[in-house]
Amino acid sequence: MSFYQKYIGTFCLLICCNSNLYSQDQSISIDTINDKKWLIEITATYLASFTTESIISVTKLYETPKFSYSLGLLVGYRINKTIAIKSGITFTRITQIIGPRLNIYYNETGARQPEPDVIINTYNSNLNTSYGVYALSSEITNAKQGDGNDYIEGDPLTLGLHGKQIIDFFSIPIIADYIFLESDLFSISGIVGINPTYFVSTNLDTESKRGLGVYVSDKRRNYNSNTGWDPLRIFTSDFQIEFNNGDRNINISYELGLGINMNLSNSLYLKTQITYSKSILPVFEIEDYAIFQKSFNFQLVFGFFL
pLDDT of 276 > 90? The answer is yes
Selection from 172, 139, 156, 143 nearest residue 239 by Cα: 139
**H/E stretch holding 33:** helix 30-34
Residue 41 pLDDT grade (very low, low, confident, very high; cuts 50, 70, 90) = very high
Give yes or no for residue 247 having a pLDDT over 70: no
What's the mean per-residue pLDDT of the chain? 76
Q: Provide the pLDDT for residue 29.
A: 87
Looking at residue 23, its pLDDT comes to 43
- Is the pLDDT at 9 greater than 90? The verdict is no
CA–CA dist 243, 163 (Å, integer):
15
pLDDT band at 286 (very low <50, low <70, confident <90, very high): low
How wide is the angle at C-alpha 83 spanned by C-alphas 29 and 68, nearest 5°?
100
Q: Right CATH number for 3-104+162-217+244-292 from 3.20.20.70, 2.30.30.90, 2.40.160.20, 2.130.10.10?
A: 2.40.160.20
220-246 pLDDT tens trace: 344 445 544 444 444 444 555 666 655
103 vs 108, more confident: 108
The reported pLDDT for the residue numbered 108 is 86
* pLDDT band, residue 206 (cuts 50/70/90): low
177 vs 153, residue with greater confidence: 177
Lowest mean pLDDT among 34-38, 75-79, 131-135, 240-244: 240-244
Give the pLDDT confidence score for residue 302 in this predicted structure.
96
* Nearby residues of 233 by Cβ (< 8 Å), 6 or more positions away: 142, 143, 144, 145, 150, 221
Going by pLDDT thresholds of 50, 70 and 90, the confidence category of residue 79 is very high
Q: Could you tell me what percent of the chain has a pLDDT over 90?
A: 30
Model confidence band, residue 24 (pLDDT cutoffs 50, 70, 90) = very low
217 or 119, which is more confident: 119
290 exposed, middle or buried (CB, 10 Å; 0-12, 13-18, 19+)? middle
Q: Cα(152)–Cα(126) distance, rounded to whole angstroms?
A: 23
Instruction: In whole angstroms, give the CA distance from residue 47 to residue 67.
Output: 8
- The alpha carbon of 234 is separated from its chain's Cα centroid by a whole number of angstroms, namely 34
In the chain, the amino acid numbered 56 is: I
Confidence of residue 88 (pLDDT cuts 50, 70, 90): very high
What share of the chain has pLDDT > 70, as a percent? 69
